[in-house]
Structure 1
Amino acid sequence: MQLNLKNPIVFFDLETTGINIANDRIVEISILKIDTDGNEEVKTMRINPEVPIPAKTSAIHGIYDEDVKDAPTFKEVGRQLATFMEGCDIAGYNSNKFDIPLLAEEFIRAEVDFDMTKRKFIDVQTIFHKMEKRTLEAAYKFYCDKNLDDAHSAEADTRATYEVLKAQLDRYSDLKNDMEWLSKFSAHNKNADFAGRIIFNDKGVEVFNFGKYKGKPVTEVLDTDPGYYGWMMNGDFPLFTKKVLTNIKLRNAFGKG
């Protein structure tokens, strides 16, 4: 089944130095762009993370410091990538929890103004887990009856994710071929930030989604425990989470003015 697209959509996958959204860096990115007419364009590039790649991480994706020492940094290519993704909905595998938050961090560090909050996000892993609960390799075999050769290569994983989503739409009649519907279906929570540290509750109010104030409205916590803001701003939280928190703080302050 071909995707019913109102906007172009990009499928993307990252290979990184690790799994810490706030501190780790991209070493390879692959983006498969599907236009509304079905035309495909792929962009894959290695990125110099400007930090050493841990040996245990290199053992997984096969990318070593030597492989990226002459590659461009994200700051050098960030604007090019943003232009390529401009106006597109965004899909990936485990992308809502990892790839999108980490990519947002890289854009902020590179000082590239790329607003991803207006996009529709489709996480193929979430759809898969809700339907079958397996890994990408198993999903590819299950839905496409193919073996995923070259797994943990960004481009192979990216293209497999695209094929899996199309096969999911063919298999499940209760899935709608609509990116807005799929975006809502593949989301665990309605996040205010990409990492899911702050989410919207069922009343549309931003609440903390972790720690001692989990479930508490952010504005309420900022009023009763103003030091919590400083603790988060100085803590090991993603830059985008801090940006969202600051925006809520400023909005709350001006709303009282």
Structure 2
Amino acid sequence: MSWITGPLVAFDLETTGTDVETDRIVTAALVRLGPDGAVAAEWNWLLDPGVAIPAQASAIHGISTDHARAHGVRAASAVEEIARSVAEVLDAGTPLVVMNARYDLSLLDRECRRHGLASVGERLGGEPSPVIDPLVIDKHVDRYRKGTRALHALCAHYGVPLDDAHNARADAVAAARVVRRMGEKHQPVGSMSLPDLHDLQIRAAADQSVSLQAYLRRTTNPSAVVEQAWPVIPRSRRPEANG
């Protein structure tokens, strides 16, 4: 049975910014979709990140510092629940869909470290797997298509509704539906085993980063460094760009 005909669990974060080393989780969603694409179960979190949420971030996801402080749960307890839930999904062998996994899973890893908690990888005894990343796959199967590869653009390209962008639940659902459409359209990907698909994305993400780094060095920043690791950036690294 192909992974595109089975259940998928999608994960998404909304955060205080874009730096995996310093920014914090504001909202998180874990959503299970059945083979028919319908939502079968979901888990949602609103956190008090313990820091002020910049106005620019609030403008994107709609959560203010005051709202998070009044209604969010303590960050440490929420991060524990999120990491445990993600690890349980992967430990069961269910594919985890994460749009730009290099960002979301790395930020979750750093939040675990910040609060003295076991990371997803530590709970699993190895790298989080199997992960399916619509961003990496789309760049791999349709390398030369012009335009942005943001989630809203992928939804438009693959004909998937996205009614509430930058809402963690809505983004998670859309990412899972998009990646299933990708698998249906691009059968060499859709027919792969989950271990093979995960390994393909490790190689593809590295190749894409090398290409982007070369482009940036050639056009705008001679010293640009784009992280190659996927799905989690090792903790010792601080790249200038995450691809």
Give the distance between the partners of 1:78 and 1:26, measured in 2 at CA: 8
What per-residue deviation string (whole Å, max 9, x for no partner) do you get for residues 135-170 of structure 1? Answer: 211211222x24421111111110000001111111
| Structure 1 residues 25 and 151, CA gap change in structure 2 (3 angstroms) | same
Segments of 5+ residues of structure 1 without an aligned counterpart are 197-210, 215-237, 244-257
Contact 2:53 2:64 in 1 (8 A): yes
Give the distance between the partners of 1:161 and 1:105, measured in 2 at CA: 23
**Mean Cα deviation higher: 53-62 or 78-87:** 78-87
What is the match of residue 104 of structure 1? 109
Matched length: 197
What is the match of residue 42 of structure 2? 42
What is the match of residue 61 of structure 1? 61
SS at match of 1:101: helix
Percentage identity across aligned positions?
26
Mapped pair 1:119 → 2:124: no
- Give the letter for the 2:67 counterpart: D
Give RMSD over aligned pairs.
Answer: 3.3
| Structure 1 residues 21 and 57, CA gap change in structure 2 (3 angstroms) | same
What is the match of residue 180 of structure 1? 195
| Structure 1 residues 26 and 165, CA gap change in structure 2 (3 angstroms) | same
Shift in Å at residue 99 of structure 1?
A: 0.5
What is the match of residue 152 of structure 1? 166
Contact 1:10 1:85 in 2 (8 A): no
Contact 2:10 2:98 in 1 (8 A): yes
Contact 2:32 2:40 in 1 (8 A): yes
Q: Which of the two has higher C-alpha Rg?
A: 1
Segments of 5+ residues of structure 2 without an aligned counterpart are 91-95, 210-222, 227-231, 238-243
What per-residue deviation string (whole Å, max 9, x for no partner) do you get for residues 201-228 of structure 1? Answer: xxxxxxxxxx8xx9xxxxxxxxxxxxxx
What per-residue deviation string (whole Å, max 9, x for no partner) do you get for residues 21-77 of structure 1? Answer: 1110000001124589x9832111111111111111111111111221131122022
Mapped pair 1:92 → 2:106: no
**Mean Cα deviation higher: 18-27 or 74-83:** 74-83
Give the distance between the partners of 1:179 and 1:82, measured in 2 at CA: 21
| Structure 1 residues 33 and 85, CA gap change in structure 2 (3 angstroms) | farther
What is the match of residue 93 of structure 2? none
User: TM-score, normalising length from structure 2?
Assistant: 0.69
- Give the letter for the 2:100 counterpart: N
Q: Structure with the greater relative contact order (CA < 8 A, sep ≥ 6): 1 or 2?
A: 2
